Structure 1
């Protein structure tokens, strides 16, 4: 609650929480929809510390905050009791983002919250199997039983946990989702399968199922749903739709208990009668299909998945394989898919070690140390975004090393038996519960060593690191200019666009025109491509991709806001080629946008290019009327050495 008092003052002066219909935020401002804008104290808000200005546009009451608006927004939502809504997300049908991207987003949203605990419980179960294999205690010991209970705790009751996360993702009541999941693992139902069935359904087919109970005369196919994935995800989605319908038709005075009452009465029987069996059969077919594909050539599968796994991670596509792997473990008690990519993180870590030992760049060397350490434990994002991807060759080398590691794992037919730890903690995942340490385990060890060593040696020798690099403190040429003295003092910021240069004061948006959000210039782009004007880190990337913040390697903070009020397009006509937190290089393509369609929709594309920490600098703006991408746009000179260093 860093901005607690500011949030309270804002809520009070927009007319109080009862005057607020909704509030979202963009990259610089809170965007309220008010019942009566006349109740808002605009003059008070404008003069409030922490508020830049207030604007009214497009039916929104906009309180301009600046770059820290996400933090202020969190406190406003918490204090006001408003519904926390992502800035601008996809609609429920995923039409804005596309079906495939929506699927990946859905999978990550459902499984990501559980992965930490899933890895922890998996590690406990993996080490338990390891200790039994080493003879430290037996599988009948009390120690084994208790550790196994911890290890199975989440995975056995997975439908209950996924009921919560899936319902949250589908914007339903999370506790209704948990209740549906809990119903699926209710122990009494599994005991009803004992004894002679009433009759058999689908006799003589692959779907043959004995019927032990009925619901209102309708046959119920009882299946084991503990540790299952697909049935609860579908059931939670259906349940959220049912809940929304009942929410619309049930009077407000009794919604609190009647909406869950009717939702559960419809969703749970529907899940047992239709969703559960169909989803289970689909899961079994999916598992058999992946095994068949790997069975065609595990070596080729290992080369392919190993080579592209880190690419999948960058684009979030790896989430598509996580449910398949979990489903394989449930159905066949082992998974070959994730095993094939086990060496990829070690290949990446080996490449980082090569960069660390070879580079002369002090900043890159300092980044490599924590990236190497986190990579050892299976967290490779710092290595990818901070070290190897910006240098390109080390990333390519790591992919080659990972492909070779994947081929070795495929050749040894290695499988994972639990969803356990990452990196060095991932080795217990490959211990077969009954047979113990087998050739598959040793195949994983060999693959990791080969991938790591290849990543290291090839990067050290051929990674393009070292001699041609210039130390970070040395003067370099940027855009044809030679800065003098310490690079930390001055920076040259080229234009991110090709287009016509305008003064900020010409902008219709008062917050930008006044310079309150930063000093700089505006550009009317003639081409819908935004190139990085600096080398640095993406400090902010709005979900709609209409605005981006970049912090240069020397500390200048750049904000580029494509057009005015283009957040209202909700991502239409914008596509990003980067992610928040990514390292970018000067001239790298970051965003593409369709100028013609944006204008057809009634929005301007004139774009402010601002230095938001301008208080640290004396600034020289270009006098040119037109610029090409890469031409000098702004020069910043640190006012004092202490501020820049």
Structure 2
């Protein structure tokens, strides 16, 4: 296809390049922040060659092109609109896409996006640690090596490292997101995991030493594996750093600002925010654990049925922080299997649409979009297929609810976050064959349930193209 022609048509139908504030792209979608969200002609945009769907979410107008093609269209789109240009000589600054996007969001969605930007970059480290824990568990369970083997020693080190230094990883990522120096954020994470503090990650039942400081009893307890304390600390640090930088002369900024920022934030962290964050984190974990164990399959039914609706709002981006806290405190993530059921159910509903629709373009989109959902990426099938007809989306909610109830009933868990669908088998495997089989059964229930529910509900297509 002629990507330049597609990009040119898209710009015109968006209301012209003057209506484009900023743009970027992900694996499948062109993400655009617009000056006026009412100008785009959505129906006409859907008829552009290569377009597989259009929707607005998270403060962005998003156009689905699919893997590979979106990169080429974006290159031409950026050339036409100038969104990819560097700062001009006239002093005009390129608009930061994330900042432009956040300005268009409501406060709740903005918080969710911020948490997503902090935790998504850490996913590879968490997934790697989860898989290494699984390998270590298999070595011990099947006695592939002796208990005192160097293999056990090294794999134990490799698998636990990411969780021990989790505050350092979060500190670096959060400081970048909050507009602070990321290395100072990492230093604060290092302070909160210092060897002088008792490591609760490896010594859960030990009692920390208590010292007297400024008339207060301070427990020398580390924050290895915690999430909320470092988030609160780095947010405060970003405010302190900016405040100090405003009053310190540029000539001595490099000496004074980092020194005062670390000292002030460090004391506040150890005396106040750290203990408060731990209390909040434990309260959140306890509450979720109580709901999970009390409501049981009913909780899975509700959350599995509603998750895709939450995805539309963008609030689901904040769940990574909650899941990381569960893994840190309990060693398991019981939420991710529920989200996985909702995701694969969208794929099942998309397959049903393929058999029901008479529109060749919808058929062309339905198969790859459904397979994408089975790999954990649901936006193409949700926005490109199921939501445009609504009934398949309801069918997917039914399948997700059934699958969610089953995985909660059978206590399916993982030891990481960020992977759903087929890839999630890898982080479910460390908990044994029963865990894998129950996840597979839930996968089938959610997919088949959504497929059958969508066939029963049927598909109401307009005579004119959407």
Q: Structure 1 length normalisation: TM-score?
A: 0.54
Query: Cα–Cα, structure 1 residues 242 and 375, in superposed 2: closer, same or farther, change >3 Å?
Result: same
Counterpart for residue 438 of structure 2: 443
**Alpha-carbon deviation of 1:333?**
2.0
Whole-angstrom distance in 1 between the partners of 2:295 and 2:281:
22
Counterpart for residue 100 of structure 1: 108
What secondary structure, in the 3-state scheme, does the structure 1 residue paired with 2:303 have? helix
**Alpha-carbon deviation of 1:260?**
0.9
Counterpart for residue 250 of structure 1: 248
**Alpha-carbon deviation of 1:452?**
1.4
Q: Aligned match of 2:385 in 381, 384, 387?
A: 387
**Alpha-carbon deviation of 1:233?**
0.4
As a proportion of its length, which structure holds more strand?
A: 1
Pick the structure with greater CA Rg: 1
- Matched residues, number: 394
Query: Cα–Cα, structure 1 residues 231 and 88, in superposed 2: closer, same or farther, change >3 Å?
Result: closer
As a proportion of its length, which structure holds more helix?
A: 2
Whole-angstrom distance in 2 between the partners of 1:259 and 1:356:
60
Counterpart for residue 86 of structure 1: 96
Question: Is 2:198 aligned against 1:190?
Answer: yes
Query: Cα–Cα, structure 1 residues 447 and 133, in superposed 2: closer, same or farther, change >3 Å?
Result: farther
**Alpha-carbon deviation of 1:212?**
3.2
Q: How does 1:144-543 map to 2 (within 5 A)?
A: 145-190=153-198, 211-214=209-212, 218-419=216-417, 421-431=419-429, 436-438=432-434, 440-464=435-459
Counterpart for residue 26 of structure 2: none
Q: Aligned match of 1:72 in 68, 79, 82?
A: 82
Counterpart for residue 34 of structure 2: none
Query: Cα–Cα, structure 1 residues 79 and 286, in superposed 2: closer, same or farther, change >3 Å?
Result: farther
Whole-angstrom distance in 2 between the partners of 1:444 and 1:163:
33
Counterpart for residue 112 of structure 1: 120
Counterpart for residue 522 of structure 1: none
Whole-angstrom distance in 2 between the partners of 1:71 and 1:108:
28
Contact kept, 8 Å, 1:420 with 1:428, in 2: the verdict is no
Contact kept, 8 Å, 1:163 with 1:177, in 2: the verdict is yes
Contact kept, 8 Å, 1:130 with 1:431, in 2: the verdict is no
**Alpha-carbon deviation of 1:418?**
3.2
Higher relative contact order (CA 8 A, sep 6+): 2
Structure 1 stretch displaced more, 386-395 or 420-429? 420-429
Counterpart for residue 195 of structure 1: none
**Alpha-carbon deviation of 1:102?**
3.2
**Alpha-carbon deviation of 1:431?**
4.9
Q: Any gaps of 5 or more consecutive residues in structure 2?
A: 1-16, 23-75, 201-206
Whole-angstrom distance in 2 between the partners of 1:255 and 1:70:
41
CA RMSD of aligned residues (A): 3.7
| 1:406-464 deviation digits (Å, cap 9, x = unpaired) | 1112222333333363222213434565xx444x5543332111111222233345442
| 1:327-359 deviation digits (Å, cap 9, x = unpaired) | 122122223333333322221222222233444
Contact kept, 8 Å, 1:172 with 1:243, in 2: the verdict is yes
Whole-angstrom distance in 2 between the partners of 1:349 and 1:264:
48
**Alpha-carbon deviation of 1:308?**
0.7
Q: Structure 2 length normalisation: TM-score?
A: 0.73
Contact kept, 8 Å, 1:27 with 1:69, in 2: the verdict is no
**Alpha-carbon deviation of 1:302?**
0.6
Whole-angstrom distance in 1 between the partners of 2:361 and 2:146:
51
Contact kept, 8 Å, 1:397 with 1:463, in 2: the verdict is no
